[in-house]
Amino acid sequence: MSSSSSSEPVFLFPGQGGYLPGGLSRVCADRSLPAVVGQVDAISLRYGGPTISTLLESADAPTLDMLLASDVPALSLAIFATELAVLDLARELAGVTPGLVIGHSFGEFAALTAAGALGLADGVRLVIARDRALRASPDAEGGMVALRVGRQRANAVVGSLADRGLAVAAHNGYDQVVVSGPHESLDRLTALAGLLGIEATRLRVPYPFHNRLLAAANRLFEAEVAEVRVRAPRVPMYSPVLGRYVETEQDSREILTSHLEREVGFMPALVSVRGDGYTHFLECGARAALTDLVSACLPGVQTAAPLRQRRTLDELRGAFATSSSSEAGSNGSSVAQTGSNGSSIATTGSNGAPVASARADAAPVEPARLGTQQVAVPTAAVPATAPAPAEPAPSAGADVPGLVDELRTLYASAVGYPEEVFEADIELEADLGIDSIRQTELLQRARQKYDLPEADIRITDYTTLESIAELLTQLGAGRVKA
């Protein structure tokens, strides 16, 4: 199943990267949530699962980090519901429908539902069953690391450790490969990557997805899949897990029964469908993790991420309308903003195979001591000439509004957004889609700019430029524990 040419958009369904706290809260100022969200809640209750409407409609909804720590089942269902809500809103507001669907890791569940291979009730049931199988598995401890290298070198690095617990989990781009495994194994991988000058980013995920370590969970989940009705897709679908178009009921079922252990070949999928003539890509979920990867990987394409950040109903309508016209950004330059170097700026993970930001100028990494969990943050490249002296550190009497202006310029330059979007009190994650990994890196840049000491803090406590400016003044005055 392929197309020699198609102007119909490819709808991309992300995994864990598809969560934005209160992602539809501004839409709800003018209307109620799409009906599918309420239907997901009702079906979930029937199967003993959580309700998730408030996670989509409340501006004060828990962050990704909070849900990872306290309620992964609600997070998974919220992602699934968000993606189906965006699908319905695209059709309702602008008449935009998919010419092809592609899911990334856990996003294949929503893609199968959108394509008609799963009914809504069965889709919800399987999302809940998947989380239960993972929680019940004794061997599901572990995580994931994104390496800024190509696939061949990633294989060599992983192979050199001779650790059977490690596995290449996802091939996301020309220079992005995700590896999963036990925490101790990932520690060794990260240390080796640092010695080799390879950027390595520990990703915020609850399990070592796409790894044989999840074989027991997969067997538990297979039993649940056997109880539901699965069909051939009614909308064209390409599966990065299968590495081919999904054409039969058996194909659909194979995705479900193997996705926990098999690698996600996202980049090969992009190359394949681009070769079949697809040139328009729309992120059918929150944020822009997948369209940013598309922009970094494929030439001559148009991408759109209507829910990159919280939008009003009119803004969302305009974003959908633009995505279906020739005004959509080539390589993400208009609808889906990219960094100033033309590369990806989103660093959001994917539940099962996270995607990290694609930056061509990434340097080696060092751990940032922010909070209790170490996060790998790129260090500055060694300059050929002597570095410029650090600017005077802000002190207790510093002008916070003036410091906000300086941070606005720093942050806008780093992520490629216009300066005017960085209002003092705007939420970096909820409103601008800058997740905590990227925020950690940006705070490191600010700290280095003013030659301030590292601080033992939680990055999620400082989510606006105003709060970051206040933190920097406190660091300058020695009020924060280093």
Binning pLDDT at 50, 70 and 90, where does residue 438 land? confident
Question: Which of 379, 308, 381 is CA-nearest to residue 338?
Answer: 308
Instruction: Identify whether the C-beta of residue 419 lies closer than 8 Å to the C-beta of residue 296.
Output: no
pLDDT digits (tens, 9 = 90+) for 181-236: 999 999 999 999 999 999 999 999 999 999 999 999 999 999 999 999 999 999 99
For the chain, the first-to-last Cα distance in angstroms comes to 58
Classify residue 6 by its DSSP letter. Answer: B
pLDDT attached to residue 457: 80
448 or 482, which is more confident? 448
29 or 376, which is more confident? 29
Question: Which of 231, 209, 53 is CA-nearest to residue 131?
Answer: 209
Instruction: Identify whether the C-beta of residue 354 lies closer than 8 Å to the C-beta of residue 346.
Output: no
Is the pLDDT assigned to residue 330 strictly greater than 70? no
Q: State the Cα angle at 364 between 363 and 368, rounded to 5°.
A: 110
Q: Please tell me the least confidently modeled range out of 261-275, 283-297, 335-349.
A: 335-349
Question: Which of 129, 257, 218 is CA-nearest to residue 249?
Answer: 257
Instruction: Identify whether the C-beta of residue 352 lies closer than 8 Å to the C-beta of residue 206.
Output: no
Classify residue 460 by its DSSP letter. Answer: G
423: left (phi over 0), alpha (psi -120 to 50) or beta: beta
337 or 180, which is more confident? 180
pLDDT digits (tens, 9 = 90+) for 118-170: 999 999 999 999 999 999 998 899 999 999 999 999 999 999 999 999 999 99
Contacts of 325 (CB under 8 A, 6+ apart): none
CA 183, CA 187: separation in Å to the nearest integer?
Answer: 6
Is 237 in a helix, a strand, or coil?
strand
Is the pLDDT assigned to residue 305 strictly greater than 60? yes
